[in-house]
Structure 1
Amino acid sequence: MSTVEADLTRSVRERTERIKPEECWELLAREGFGRLALAVADGVDIVPLNFVVDRRSIVLRTAEGSKLTEMSRSSAVALEIDDRDPVSGVAWSVVAKGRPRILTAEDEVAAVEALGVRTWSGTSKKMRYVRIEISEVTGRRFHGIPTA
């Protein structure tokens, strides 16, 4: 590694801070939109979606189809949210990892319907709810990262 590369690596490391889990949960609850990464038959897929936080888990709503099928087969997924202030250059990222579970019990479905989870598509297809039981949440904040 050259001196310039070493200096750049050190500079980025010095401008990066870990976000505490409690703040990660606050950011997740505030944002409500992110990208879900999950294993699919031919690799990994990343899909944008709306969600709500409910008791240290993530709840989403999706139409029956390939995404729901893949989630039912998956033992682990990751949800990522992020933002960046273009003026200050401060950016942050939160990743929540866990196990998805399709909700089928009437009492569970009724409870999450009250949360008001929206979908992008607004489709009239039969919608299903998924709860992701989060096992790990991590976050980082980057201060003054240059745009170029």
Structure 2
Amino acid sequence: MLNQSETKTIDEILKNYNYKDSSIIAIMQDVQKIYRYLPEDVLCYIAKELKISEAKIYGVATFYENFSLEPKGKYVIKICDGTACHVRKSIPILEEFRKLLGLSETKHTTDDMMFTVETVSCLGACGLAPVCTVNDVVHSTMTPEKVRQVVAKIKEEEANE
């Protein structure tokens, strides 16, 4: 159940798109920017307000890989495993992130909701392989040592906030 503040926030997003169901992708993108995922109660509220079925909302949310129905961490790390990155050893990069953060193939987000690690088919930066992004900031020619540096820098910045 949404609280009054959340309802107001979602209403503002819907208003920005004139409550048009044809803007559902943009609406969901805005919602995901706020929550870092698409909460079930928010999707149900949007369906009701746009006068479309919950099935249609979930169809869109599950069709596009960019949407998540599960909470993600503050820092979303995407490791490319496309051909160029894979042959340049992206798997050891993935394994190092998982080891450092206590994650696995089945556990993608840290308990403190600080980090989410996922693989993607391509980040479109093949010439910089192996590559990863942290909240859409590209890190090129990654190595396990660079992974340790990236994680240490983030943790240091978090400690200073």
Calculate the TM-score normalised by the size of structure 1: 0.24
Bigger relative CO (Cα 8 Å, ≥ 6 apart):
1
User: When you count helix as a share of all residues, which structure comes out higher?
Assistant: 2
